[in-house]
């Protein structure tokens, strides 16, 4: 049973996966594996995003039959039994990314990706079981609990299409 945890940078993949790992679940950092496997190229200029060869993700040494949570902002590119997309309202995401010292351009690009549901749309292109968890105003522990519920089959309220940041975005203009 492979569960991919994905989402725009800052939505909480690392933080939630730390909770899952602490609780005894098997967790794999797909970015780390992809770097070690030579599937990520450093950008030509500092500040540009690294390029991931998503076509070759299947070549990575992933645990085969155990129950495992695999996380990265491109984890949905891997075929998974269940994909959980972490979401966060753009205003809260902005404050999370500002705390990292990211520049305005990089923050804006990521807020736009979040605003247009980019990762959910991409995840649905490749996977059947795609669900969302809104981390905007819950703790990482609660987000981890919701993920475990989804894996057990309690998906109500997590179906894609329920999260809509459009009102918040319209207030930008
Ligand atoms: N419910 C929540 N779940 C996860 N993180 C949360 C939650 N609420 C607040 N946060 C905060 O949001 C931030 C999320 O950062 P984190 O590094 O986990 O994101 P990420 O999705 O792994 O980003 P990246 O793609 O850049 O690696 C942390 O500072 C965390 O404390
Ligand atoms: Mg992370």
Q: Does residue 46 lie in a domain region?
A: yes
Q: Does residue 170 lie in a domain region?
A: no
Burial 24-54 (b: 16+ CB within 10 A, else e): ebebbbbbebbeeeebbeeeeeeeeeeebee
Residue where the block lists tokens 């894996």 = 151
- The residue segments making up the domain with residue 31 are 2-159
Assess whether the C-beta atom of 139 lies below 6 angstroms from ligand 1: yes
Tell me the pTM.
0.96
How many domains would you assign to the chain?
1
Q: Could you read off the pLDDT of 7-63 as tens digits, one per residue?
A: 999 999 999 999 999 999 999 999 999 999 999 988 888 777 789 999 999 999 998
Q: Does residue 104 lie in a domain region?
A: yes
Residue to mutate, 140, 146, 147, 148, ligand 1, most ligand atoms under 8 Å from C-beta? 140
Cβ atoms of 40 and 57 closer than 8 Å: no
CATH of the domain at 153: 3.40.50.300
Q: Distance between CA 75 and CA 22 in Å, rounded?
A: 21
């Amino acid at each position: 049973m492979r569960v991919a945890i994905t989402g725009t940078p800052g939505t909480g993949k690392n933080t939630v996966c730390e909770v899952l790992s602490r609780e005894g679940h098997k967790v794999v950092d797909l970015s780390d594996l992809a770097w070690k496997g030579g599937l990520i190229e450093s950008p030509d200029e500092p500040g540009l995003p690294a390029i991931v060869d998503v076509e070759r993700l299947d070549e990575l040494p992933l645990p085969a039959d155990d129950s495992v949570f695999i996380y990265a902002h491109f984890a949905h590119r891997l075929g998974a039994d269940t994909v959980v997309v972490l979401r966060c309202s753009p205003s809260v995401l902005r404050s999370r990314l500002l705390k990292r010292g990211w520049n305005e351009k990089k923050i804006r690009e990521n807020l736009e990706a979040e605003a247009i549901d980019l990762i959910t749309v991409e995840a649905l292109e490749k996977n059947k079981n795609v669900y969302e968890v809104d981390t905007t105003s819950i703790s990482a522990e609660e987000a981890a609990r919701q993920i475990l519920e989804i894996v057990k089959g309690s998906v109500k309220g997590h179906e894609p299409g329920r999260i809509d940041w459009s009102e918040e975005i319209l207030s930008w203009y």
